[in-house]
Amino acid sequence: MRLRKELRGGVTVISLDGQLDSETSPQVQQDLRALLPEDGLVVLDLSRTLYMSSAGLRVLLLVYRQAQHGTVRLALTGLSPDVRAIMEATGFLGFFTVVESVEQGVEALTV
Amino acid sequence: MTILEPIDAYPTQRIAGYPVRAGRSLPFGATRVPGGVNFSVYSNHATSVTLVLYREGEPEPMAELPFPESFRVGSVYAMTVFGLDVERLEYGYRVDGPRRPWEGHRFDPDLVLSDPYARMLTGHGPYRHRSRVTLDDFDWEDDRPPHLPHEDLVIYELHVRGFTRHDSSGVAAPGTYAGLVEKIPYLLELGVNCVELMPVFEFDETDNVFTGVNYWGYSPIGFFSPKASYAATGRDHMQVDEFKHMVKELHRAGIEVLLDVVFNHTAEGDERGPAISFKGLDNATYYMLTPDGHYYNFSGTGNTLNCNHPVVRGFVLDCLRYWAAECHVDGFRFDLAAILGRGSDGELLHNPPLLESLAYDPILRDRKLIAEAWDAAGLYQVGSFPHYSRWSEWNGRYRDTVRRYVKGDIGVTGELATRMVGSPDMYSRRGAAATVNFVTSHDGFTLRDLVSYDHKHNEGNGEGNRDGDDANNSWNCGHEGVTDDPAVLALRARQQRNALLLLLASRGVPMLLAGDELGRTQLGNNNAYCHDGPVTWLDWGLREENADLFRFTRHAIAFRRAHPVLRGGSPGSVHWHGVSAWSPDWSAHSRVLAALFDGGGNDCVYVAANSHWESHTLELPPAPRGQAWHLFADTAAAPPMDAFEPGSEPPLANQSQLSIGPRSVAILVTH
């Protein structure tokens, strides 16, 4: 799994590229923690996340919690219908701010 | 804070190429530990046990790890295996030992058995019985069980799949735990505050020699495993998360969750049945066996779990604690619970250790324990189940009495009175909370069929209509089955309301069968365990078709919840009446019953029932405390005048008399 970080108009966008499962989760968790800024707005872009296992869901939630502890505001975008359905059925979706696009994320997080 | 790594989180040796060390005997099952997974399994008579590991979906094992003798403590084999990817792992046990069925031993090292403590089974496909390891962390936030007093419950019995599987359900995830969550607004609108889920332990839905379908699932395989195919995420092995989320959301809505649990038998059948787990792990411990090693069959399904054996008792207790503590389940209904009071030879125990343990268990202290207090070998313990002041019972006598009264049998009016005040003939010492009252359940006719069929119609079950109960106390109201005769249909509509109203105005805990409030039919099938389709799925189109019945039921539930006096109270708060006030007629030919439930203040309710085919005029007692009688419900009236919004009941024009129609029930309330 590859992580990419870019700044778009003051928002940190981190894309997760590949499979988020038990094999990749520990590394992704570590990498995400390192990539998260101290404060500001962060959008996690999952549009290239091909598969999300239960370990993957846990990583997302842990990172989200880490963000909440600081002053980072975080949203998810690019959820495929499958990933969204899984997150909905297991209740993980309810923890996150989910937006349709990075642009909408900027809007949602700055309001 | 620095968290120290555990000092034993490293392997001491390699077995079959895998780094391992001697495991911890407890807890049983597969538990994630730092760096690995701890596997622990019990067998008293095994001579060797091997842990078999598979990469998911692969036909052949990726490794077989025999437990070294040094890894055994007593009869428990435990090993920690390091470096496993638990999300892609399936496992099982190969167990060798004596092959002497006449002594009860049926070991077969050719088989790979599922772990009885597995938190998940694969649940589908050719390797459906393979065990899996779960990620058991779950964010419950501040979830608290609603802790509703027993007598305040209105239980709604439903089948997780059948409730939302029909196309008309309109949910995103039909037939699943997630689908049930989507229907919470409906449950709230109806007003029920407790769902009782038909079996959700992993079972094989093809396990049926007659039709190839086992829909109900009263044949458990994985007692710790929520059924994967009831989860929208089951194929991704997230059924535990999905199940927990369902419980959390129901709790958030103030709704309790009871599980219908089967500890009397398993899916392994008798000597002809498959060996999936217990049979190959330690047959002589887990099953009740005759002296020559055959299976006792008190369950009617081939085998009987040896549930008062100390080891099996521990298993049952561990299982219930798991569902209560880890999954936040609020209680349990025990299928054929009379078996749980039997000893190893089937003898009736005076003080059954299992039932006592459950009654006094610290984890289960606040959980509801409900017994189906009979078994398939003729033991009928309704009213005499060993209860330790803890157990409630499905009151089969309540069901039979209300059915007989409503269909017009003579000589049951007196018994109806007893049943309506909490069956004190059976439960006076325990109070009304001990009786779970019901007219219909999954087992038998739906309410609509109860008033539409004299006889069962189980031809579709593949047994020549021989299966299913013949004693239904049902009446078709003049025509067997489907009809467009308006008179018959009107009578059926009234009879359904009569049963619902009596149930919801009776002391004790009422239980409704899901769909009865919408007039669900199984076309006369009273044993629909083998139908996974339109016969058993709830057709949500009925919501519109039978909107009046839904509204009536909703009002009746709300009325009950508004009136504590209907849920319990001292015998002195009930006064009996008849055609004349203060003069009940207890003679055998009487078909009229009137009861005044007076809890003081506005909590005063007059219930009148007439199973005669003619109207009667009842003299009313004066409404107490200078108040006036108002009409809540009258099943003889055409909708929407058959029931009013509780709190907005219209005053009765004639305060001294009530005319009660043929075969009808009416309820008054004071304001």
**H-run or E-run covering A67:** helix A54-69
Cis peptide before B19 (omega within 30 of 0): no
Q: What is the 3 state secondary structure string of B330-373? A: CEEEECCHHHHHECCCCCECCCCHHHHHHHHCCCCCCCEEEECC
- Inter-chain contact A89–B232, Cβ cutoff 8 Å? yes
- Express the helix, strand and coil content of chain B in percent, nearest 5 each: 25, 25, 50
Residues in A closer than 8 angstroms to B139, CB to CB, are 61, 95
Output the pLDDT for position B579.
96
Output the pLDDT for position A68.
80
How far is it, in rounded angstroms, from Cα A110 to Cα B55? 46
Q: Which of residues 134-163 of B touch A (CB under 8 A)?
A: 135, 137, 139
Closest residue to B87, CB basis, from A21, A90, A92: A21
Residues in B closer than 8 angstroms to A89, CB to CB, are 173, 176-178, 231-233, 238, 242, 245
Q: Is residue B588's pLDDT more than 80?
A: yes
Which residues are bridge partners to A3 per DSSP? A16
The answer to whether residue B335 is catalytic is yes
Q: pLDDT tens across A64-103, in order?
A: 888 888 888 899 999 999 999 999 999 999 999 999 988 8
Comparing alpha-carbon positions, the chain A residue that sits nearest to B236 is A53
Half-sphere exposure of B643 (CA within 13 A, CB side): 25
Q: pLDDT tens across B139-153, in order?
A: 999 999 999 999 999
Closest residue to A22, CB basis, from B87, B176, B231: B87
Residues in B closer than 8 angstroms to A53, CB to CB, are 87, 236
E-only strand ranges, B413-476: 435-438
Listed in sequence order, the residues at least 6 apart from B426 whose beta carbon sits closer than 8 Å to its beta carbon are: B382, B383, B384, B395, B397, B434, B435
Q: Is residue B1's pLDDT more than 60?
A: no
Best CA proximity match to B661, nearest among B641, B639, B637: B637
Output the pLDDT for position A38.
84
- CB–CB contacts below 8 A, A to B: 56
Residue type, B558: A
Output the pLDDT for position A9.
81
Q: pLDDT tens across B509-549, in order?
A: 999 999 999 999 999 999 999 999 999 999 999 999 999 99
Cβ proximity of B632 and B640 under 8 Å:
no
Residue A104 pLDDT level (bands cut at 50, 70, 90): confident
Pairing of strands B13-15, B72-73: unpaired
Output the pLDDT for position B292.
95
How far is it, in rounded angstroms, from Cα B617 to Cα B605? 18
Q: Which of B241, B260, B372, B443 is catalytic?
A: B372
Q: pLDDT tens across B88-140, in order?
A: 999 999 999 999 999 999 999 999 999 999 999 999 999 999 999 999 999 99
Residue B383 pLDDT level (bands cut at 50, 70, 90): very high
Q: Is B242 on the interface with A (CB under 8 A)?
A: yes
Listed in sequence order, the residues at least 6 apart from A19 whose beta carbon sits closer than 8 Å to its beta carbon are: A1, A49, A50, A51, A53, A56
Q: Report the SS3 class of residue B246.
A: helix
Alpha-carbon torsion, ordered B537, B542, B544, B548, to 10 deg:
-130
Q: pLDDT tens across B408-442, in order?
A: 999 999 999 999 999 999 999 889 999 999 999 99
Residues in A closer than 8 angstroms to B176, CB to CB, are 89
How close is the nearest chain B Cα to the Cα of A38, in Å?
Answer: 21
Please provide the average confidence, as pLDDT, over all residues in chain B: 97
Q: Which of B335, B532, B634, B649 is catalytic?
A: B335
Residues in B closer than 8 angstroms to A21, CB to CB, are 87
ipTM for this model = 0.95
Closest residue to B233, CB basis, from A21, A55, A90: A90
Q: Find tokens 């989320």 and name the residue.
A: B245
How far is it, in rounded angstroms, from Cα B93 to Cα B77? 11
The answer to whether residue B372 is catalytic is yes
How far is it, in rounded angstroms, from Cα A78 to Cα A99? 8
Average pLDDT score over residue span B615-632? 97
Output the pLDDT for position A102.
83
Q: Is residue B567's pLDDT more than 70?
A: yes
Residue A111 pLDDT level (bands cut at 50, 70, 90): low
Q: Is residue B49's pLDDT more than 80?
A: yes
